[in-house]
């Protein structure tokens, strides 16, 4: 973490008390999760909410209405990041924040991101019902476009908030239909200077994100919660492979420069490079393969691949990318094709803050829930919030580790445990009086 971010202490003189008797309204929360899942571009149980689409805007309105009912003040920035604040006793102190996203990729489920938003709201309401009064304000953040569905880049809102994506770069973003970010955000009602989205380091005192694990470890080990210590560093590449097309019957095998055959070798080279590290935290995926002209009787002349490489160690991940490019150069020379690379994003990993982790662990001890420390191999808005404030993440299990599918599921018991611990942690962090 940056040196300018002060450590979060677990107790200070005159700190507000940490509530003991708190009760999560899990039935009400599950009803809200179900209602939000019904706001979708697809028929239930499928959830699809693409940023700035009609369903996304209705879902935002639903969350804001619930926040107003809880007495929270609401502010939106020019990209659509939404800040819902419970005012603390001292308005001069920086706020403690929590939150996540509600946009959903096509054919997704009801819990990804949503547990962190609606669960974060319920954590605030839980503290309100307990009669707790924060010294610091507590802010619930709904981030714009954590998913890369529309613009091909994830964590758009938090990237811009952290200054990791400039206003000029953002203005050049377009969706697959050629519609630009500028027009889409203005039609959605978000106007103003994009430069105003960026926040200063230290704007928040701390940030804690509640999220489903999106993996099988917690359920497999019979644990209720996961304490995230590191968030993997993602890198995405677009790879263009250009060969020579021709008639599938007339072009002899000895004369071919088949772009798809070359692409197959590149895909396997990525798999080999990722496995070669011998580390479980290194993963590499080719998720897009577009073939031109795409006819069964035509030798492919052009292929576009999109790759995703992640690791909790940035240098190790970059080593995989270097090995991939070296292998691709050999394939290009041997097969007589041209291979070029475009970097979409290459982000550093995040290490969660020790004092915020300690607050989470103390809250877990108070609640009596079972937990383990772990890493997040998926990346989240917390990856970019770590540039602004001390962060940590709290995972709840999800059934079978399934996510980004309609059968994604987290039980009421799991979610209730996460919300209770989040509430206790927010109470600890918001009780502190240093600036």
Is the predicted pLDDT of residue 253 greater than 60, yes or no? Answer: yes
Is the predicted pLDDT of residue 5 greater than 80, yes or no? Answer: no
From the options 3.65.10.10, 2.160.10.10, 3.40.50.2030, 3.30.70.360, give the CATH code of 234-346: 3.30.70.360
Q: What is the mean pLDDT of residues 157-176?
A: 96
pTM of the full structure: 0.89
Is the predicted pLDDT of residue 18 greater than 70, yes or no? Answer: no
pLDDT in tens, 183-234: 999 999 999 999 999 999 989 999 999 999 999 999 999 999 999 999 998 8
Domain ranges of the chain: 26-232+349-430, 234-346
Is the predicted pLDDT of residue 11 greater than 90, yes or no? Answer: no
Question: According to the model, what pLDDT value does residue 108 have?
Answer: 98
Is the predicted pLDDT of residue 10 greater than 70, yes or no? Answer: no
Question: According to the model, what pLDDT value does residue 330 have?
Answer: 98
Is the predicted pLDDT of residue 16 greater than 70, yes or no? Answer: no
Asked if 206 and 390 touch (Cβ cutoff 8 Å), the reply is yes
pLDDT in tens, 71-94: 999 999 999 999 999 999 999 999
In this prediction, residue 2 has a pLDDT band, given cuts at 50, 70 and 90, of: very low
Is the predicted pLDDT of residue 306 greater than 90, yes or no? Answer: yes
In this prediction, residue 173 has a pLDDT band, given cuts at 50, 70 and 90, of: very high
Look over the chain and give the mean of its residue pLDDT values, rounded to a whole number: 94
Is the predicted pLDDT of residue 382 greater than 90, yes or no? Answer: yes
pLDDT in tens, 95-118: 999 999 999 999 999 999 999 999
Write down the CATH superfamily of domain 26-232+349-430.
Zn peptidases (3.40.630.10)
Cα-based distances in Å from 178 to 155, 184, 399: 20, 11, 38
Other CB atoms within 10 A of residue 276 CB: 12
Question: According to the model, what pLDDT value does residue 322 have?
Answer: 98
Is the predicted pLDDT of residue 335 greater than 70, yes or no? Answer: yes
Q: Do domains 26-232+349-430 and 234-346 have the same CATH topology?
A: no
In this prediction, residue 21 has a pLDDT band, given cuts at 50, 70 and 90, of: confident
Question: According to the model, what pLDDT value does residue 434 have?
Answer: 52
Q: How many CA atoms lie within 13 A of 395 on its CB side?
A: 28
pLDDT in tens, 274-292: 999 999 999 999 999 999 9
Q: What is the mean pLDDT of residues 377-401?
A: 96
Is the predicted pLDDT of residue 299 greater than 90, yes or no? Answer: yes
Q: What is the mean pLDDT of residues 130-151?
A: 96
Closest to 199 (Cα-Cα) out of 164, 167, 161: 161
HEC profile for 374-435? EEECCCCCHHHHCCCCCEEEEEECCHHHCCCCCCCCCCHHHHHHHHHHHHHHHHHHHCCCCC
């Amino acid at each position: 973490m940056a040196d300018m971010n002060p450590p979060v202490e677990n107790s200070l003189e005159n700190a507000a008390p940490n509530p003991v008797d708190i009760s999560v309204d899990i039935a009400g929360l599950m009803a809200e999760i179900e209602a939000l899942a019904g706001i979708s571009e697809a028929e239930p149980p499928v959830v699809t909410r693409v940023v700035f689409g009609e369903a996304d805007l209705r879902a935002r309105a639903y969350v804001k209405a619930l926040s107003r009912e809880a007495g929270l003040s609401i502010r939106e920035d020019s990209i659509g990041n939404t800040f819902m604040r419970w005012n603390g006793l001292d308005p001069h102190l920086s706020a403690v924040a929590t939150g996540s996203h509600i946009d959903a990729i096509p054919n997704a489920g009801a819990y990804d991101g949503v547990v962190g938003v609606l669960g974060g709201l319920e954590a605030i309401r839980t503290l309100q019902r307990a009669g707790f009064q924060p010294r610091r304000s507590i802010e619930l953040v709904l981030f714009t476009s954590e998913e890369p569905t529309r613009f091909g880049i994830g964590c758009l809102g938090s990237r811009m908030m952290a200054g990791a994506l400039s206003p000029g770069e953002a203005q050049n973003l377009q969706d697959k239909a050629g519609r630009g970010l500028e027009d889409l955000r203005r039609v959605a009602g978000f106007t103003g200077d994009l430069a105003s989205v960026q926040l200063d380091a230290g704007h928040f005192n701390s940030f804690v994100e509640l999220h489903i694990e999106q993996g099988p470890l917690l359920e497999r080990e019979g644990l209720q919660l996961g304490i995230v210590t590191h968030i993997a560093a993602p890198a995405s590449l677009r790879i263009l492979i250009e060969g020579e097309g021709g008639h599938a019957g007339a072009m002899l095998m000895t004369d071919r420069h088949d772009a798809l055959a070359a692409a197959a070798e590149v895909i396997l080279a990525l798999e080999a490079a990722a496995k070669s590290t011998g580390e479980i935290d290194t993963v590499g995926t080719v998720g897009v393969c577009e073939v031109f002209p795409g006819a069964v009787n035509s030798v492919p002349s052009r292929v576009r691949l999109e790759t995703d490489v992640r690791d909790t160690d940035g240098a190790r991940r970059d080593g995989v990318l270097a090995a991939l490019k070296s292998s691709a150069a050999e394939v290009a020379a041997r097969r007589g094709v041209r291979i070029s690379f475009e970097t979409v994003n290459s982000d550093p990993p995040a290490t969660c803050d020790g004092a915020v982790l300690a607050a989470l662990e103390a809250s877990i001890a108070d609640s009596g829930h079972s937990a383990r420390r772990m890493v997040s191999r998926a990346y989240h808005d917390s990856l970019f919030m770590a540039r602004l404030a001390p962060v940590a993440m709290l995972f709840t299990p999800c059934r079978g580790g399934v996510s980004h599918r309609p059968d994604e599921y987290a039980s009421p018991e799991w979610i209730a445990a996460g919300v209770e611990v989040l509430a206790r942690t927010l109470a600890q962090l918001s009780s502190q009086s240093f600036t």
